[in-house]
Amino acid sequence: MKIHSLQHLLSVTEECFGDIEGLCGDLSDDEWQVQSLCPDWNVRQCLGHAVGVEDALRGWEISSETMPAFERMTGLTEESVTMTAGEFGERTAAIFGERRAELAALSDDDLMRESFTPVGVQAFGRFWAIRIFDMWVHVRDCTIPLGRTTDDHTGAAAITLEEVEGSIGYIVGKKIGLPDGMSLRVDVTGPLARQIGVVVEGRASAVDPGSLEAPDVVLTADSTTLIMLACGRIDPQEKIDSGEISWSGNDEWGEKAARNLAFTM
């Protein structure tokens, strides 16, 4: 996957921090207790986790050998349960304040340094993109059950969709199990419209969707639905019944595709 520019990553991270801080300052006592889309966490704990990862990154030197202090992440997730809304908001503001300063001090060269990431040793710019993906999804883990609308046509949303698109070969080959010789195109509708093509030739690989004259399966979903299904957060049957995900072409494999997009949780 491409490494985004430093300024773009800083701008997009600010979108994510702003969304989380906005929720911290706006949720009622009852809303903090609502079950998030993460089975083990309510809204307070889900946001506690998202902020906790940034807490773990405070003071961490980019490294492929030394892990961030993830015990801080676990600690804040657990501590958040007993915090008042004001206390949690203050802790979040303090952590994000330090992280803003640390990230602003990075250089373009830092983006290419070897780094620990959740998917192995890669450039730090990839780790940063994965953090944006994680924060964007966790915000929707909270806003969807709360019934709150979000702006899903942002730089953070685009990077999040890129993470799904970059895993499309694995999703189609391993999770869906599309047979050798078949092809699939995903027609992604708004907020972030695009097409994604995959061909299985020994293994499933992404291809230029324009090269697929007659794909065996065409899956259609809006970008947010596709992302949240790929993250295993929402029930495929609910989205099939509502028509928010549909398919054409080979009916058997279209349905299997719609039900088996989840590659992470």
Q: E-assigned strands of the chain?
A: 114-115, 122-123, 183-189, 194-201, 203-207, 217-222, 245-249
The per-residue pLDDT for range 205-255, each reduced to its tens digit, is: 999 999 999 999 999 999 999 999 999 999 999 999 999 999 999 999 999
Lowest-confidence segment of 12-26, 71-85, 151-165 by average pLDDT: 71-85
Q: How far apart (Å, rounded) are the C-alpha atoms in residues 198 and 177?
A: 12
Of the candidates 178, 185, 119, 138, which has an alpha carbon nearest to the alpha carbon of residue 37? 138
The per-residue pLDDT for range 84-128, each reduced to its tens digit, is: 999 999 999 999 999 999 999 999 999 999 999 999 999 999 999
Which residues, 6 or more positions from 251, have their beta carbon under 8 angstroms from its beta carbon? none
The per-residue pLDDT for range 116-173, each reduced to its tens digit, is: 999 999 999 999 999 999 999 999 999 999 999 999 999 999 999 999 999 999 999 9
pLDDT at res. 1: 81
Provide the whole-model pTM: 0.96
Q: How far apart (Å, rounded) are the C-alpha atoms in residues 226 and 161?
A: 8
Compute, in degrees rounded to 10, the torsion defined by CA atoms 62, 65, 70, 71.
-130
